[in-house]
């Protein structure tokens, strides 16, 4: 039996931030990073809330928020006792806000409303039951329905100033969410429909966002795609691209979207090509995506190869590194931590729903191929 649920209310499009004007007489706690706290965006947010609400800002969030940061946040949460919590920023801020609310609720402290307002188009955290936090050099993936925000606000003007490199990283994260949800063992007709739409929108609109961040139509389409991909994977889960990327990012601090981009093609090729036949269910679904993108896909192998070429071309168009070795990491350091990363990836919550079950040897090979940018045999 499959299940599919979307409990978060979504407000999207220009001026969707105006929905905050409906709140009055609330204690509002805003979770963000220090950059957002000093940017014009925070002024836009607080103007919607003040003077009708009491607003406090917690701006200690850093990339890949740690368990310690979440614990400190819980302390401030308990001091302020907010009725409304807003995660405002990229995936790290929203994940941190969700984790703080989750653990505070576990202690019996409830809130009325949790709102997520993304300022990047990437994680889809505003509509997912996932939160990623870091413990030492390992990223831990929390998964619980109570992590879903009550409201998500997708205002494309909030992402207009995102720099091209971050636009590329986060945009490839969106693509990876769609690809992995699409071939997941838990995929359904509902998640497939979202994933197919996301893939089409990424290839059409991500390059436009990268070239001109103030193209608000392209920004809106990518913002929506990010949210739809989140809806797909919170129901279907993900796969080993994310497992490998979580470990790579945890150990070497590679930005999450970039880590996914560096590993994506290798995993697609490996999922598709079991025993050299390229006749897996994943291969047929990848070929379906190639067809939707108007790429050559007369056979599953041709479709998979077309999709791999398109992924590579998209990365090259946005001047992204095409291998882990191109990121500046030292080969000796990578080799020294390889077994540790493989162990983490095997334990990751995203691994069980990958369409092809991996072992340590397979994950080691995928890391090594991604180091030099090569694919599985036959691709």
Q: Reply yes or no on whether the pLDDT at 379 is more than 60.
A: no
DSSP letters spanning 308-359: HHHHHHHHHHTT--SSGGGGT--HHHHHHHHHHHHHHHHHSTTGGGSSS---
Two tokens, residue 308: 């791999």
Single out the residue of 223, 175, 220 nearest to residue 199, CA to CA. 175
Q: Reply yes or no on whether the pLDDT at 378 is more than 90.
A: no
Mean pLDDT over the full length of the chain: 94
For residue 17, the model assigns a pLDDT of: 95
For residue 274, the model assigns a pLDDT of: 67
What predicted TM-score, i.e. pTM, was given to this entire model? 0.94
For residue 246, the model assigns a pLDDT of: 96
Alpha-carbon separation of residue 375 from 29, 146, 368, 369, 371 (angstroms): 46, 39, 10, 6, 11
pLDDT tens-digit profile of 145-182?
Answer: 999 999 999 999 999 999 999 999 999 999 999 999 99
Q: Reply yes or no on whether the pLDDT at 22 is more than 90.
A: yes
Q: Reply yes or no on whether the pLDDT at 355 is more than 70.
A: yes
pLDDT tens-digit profile of 205-257?
Answer: 999 999 999 999 999 999 999 999 999 999 999 999 999 999 999 999 999 99
- 376 pLDDT band, cuts 50/70/90, is low
pLDDT tens-digit profile of 45-81?
Answer: 999 998 899 999 999 999 889 989 999 999 999 999 9
- 5 pLDDT band, cuts 50/70/90, is confident
Q: Reply yes or no on whether the pLDDT at 109 is more than 90.
A: no
- 290 pLDDT band, cuts 50/70/90, is very high
For residue 279, the model assigns a pLDDT of: 79
């Amino acid at each position: 039996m499959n299940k599919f649920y979307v409990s978060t209310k979504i407000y999207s499009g220009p001026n969707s931030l105006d929905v905050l004007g409906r709140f009055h007489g609330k204690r509002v706690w805003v979770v963000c990073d220090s950059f957002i706290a000093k940017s014009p965006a925070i002024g836009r947010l607080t103007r919607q809330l003040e003077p009708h609400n009491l607003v406090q800002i917690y701006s200690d969030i850093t990339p890949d928020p740690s368990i310690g940061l979440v614990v400190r946040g819980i302390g401030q949460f308990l001091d302020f006792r907010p009725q409304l919590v807003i995660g405002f920023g990229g995936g790290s801020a929203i994940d941190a806000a969700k984790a703080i609310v989750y653990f505070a609720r576990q202690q019996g402290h409830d809130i009325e409303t949790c709102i997520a307002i993304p300022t990047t188009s990437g994680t889809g955290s505003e509509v997912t039951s996932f939160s990623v936090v870091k413990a030492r050099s390992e990223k831990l993936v929390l998964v619980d329905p109570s992590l879903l925000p009550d409201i998500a606000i997708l205002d494309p003007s909030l992402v207009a100033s995102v720099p091209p490199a971050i636009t590329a990283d986060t945009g490839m994260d969106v693509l990876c969410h769609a690809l992995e949800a699409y071939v997941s063992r838990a995929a359904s007709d509902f998640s497939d429909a979202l994933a197919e739409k996301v893939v089409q929108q990424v290839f059409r609109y991500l390059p436009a966002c990268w070239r001109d961040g103030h193209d608000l139509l392209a920004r809106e389409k990518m913002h929506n795609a990010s949210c739809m991909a989140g809806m797909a994977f919170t129901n279907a889960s993900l796969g080993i691209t994310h497992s490998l990327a979580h470990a790579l990012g945890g150990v070497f601090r590679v930005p999450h979207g970039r880590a996914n981009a560096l590993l994506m093609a290798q995993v697609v090729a490996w999922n598709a090509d079991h025993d050299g036949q390229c006749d897996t269910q994943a291969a047929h679904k990848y070929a379906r995506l190639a067809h939707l993108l108007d790429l050559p896909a007369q056979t599953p192998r041709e479709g998979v190869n077309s999709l791999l070429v398109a992924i590579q071309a998209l990365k090259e168009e946005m001047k992204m590194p095409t291998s882990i070795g191109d990121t500046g990491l030292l080969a000796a350091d990578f080799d020294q931590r390889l077994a540790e990363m493989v162990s983490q990836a095997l334990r990751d919550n995203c691994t069980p729903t990958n369409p092809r079950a991996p072992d340590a040897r397979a994950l080691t090979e995928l890391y090594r191929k991604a180091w030099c940018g090569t694919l599985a045999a036959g691709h």
